[in-house]
Amino acid sequence: VPAQAATVLHLPVEGMTCAGCVSTVSNALNAVAGVSAVSVNLATGVATVSFGGIEVDEATLRIAVEAAGYQVPAGDRPWQTVGITQRLRVALPLTAAALVFGMMPGIPSAVADWGAALAAFPVY
């Protein structure tokens, strides 16, 4: 009898701030019937859920995560893309300016260093 391929679902989770949060979300998802493996990434805010045999719908997983005290946003997260694009539009010209001024002869090192720091500040 051939083994069934495991189905994988990537679920965005908001509100996690530490390893304890990751453990809580992981335990909540592992408690759902049919879930075979869970991997939660704090940095990306994504829980990867594997299940085989029994099909588990996303709504059930969403309820488990929300019952644990975290949020699962509906649909994509376009605000992340917009934020990155806006930061890049500011960072690129400021980085180019810092590079050019840093290589110009006659500008004291302290001035170039402060200029680079001030250029990086709005991006952060």
We report the CATH number of the domain holding residue 31 as 3.30.70.100
Sheet of 46-51: strands edge to edge?
7-12, 46-51, 35-41
pLDDT of residue 15: 93
Q: What 3-state class would DSSP assign to 50?
A: strand
60 and 103 co-located in one domain: no
In a domain, 19, yes or no: yes
Beta bridge partners of 17: none
In a domain, 20, yes or no: yes
Domain that holds residue 82: 78-120
pLDDT of residue 75: 65
56 and 99 co-located in one domain: no
How far apart are the C-alpha atoms of 48 and 28, rounded to whole Å? 13
The model's pTM is: 0.58
- Specify whether the CB–CB gap between 11 and 23 falls below 8 A: no
Domains: count for the chain: 2
Tokens 């010209």 sit at which residue? 93
Strands (E), the chain: 7-12, 35-41, 46-51
pLDDT of residue 124: 52
List the pLDDT tens digit at each of the 124 positions of the chain: 344 556 888 899 999 999 999 999 999 999 999 899 999 999 989 999 998 777 788 889 999 999 999 999 876 555 455 566 777 887 788 788 777 877 777 777 777 778 777 777 765 5
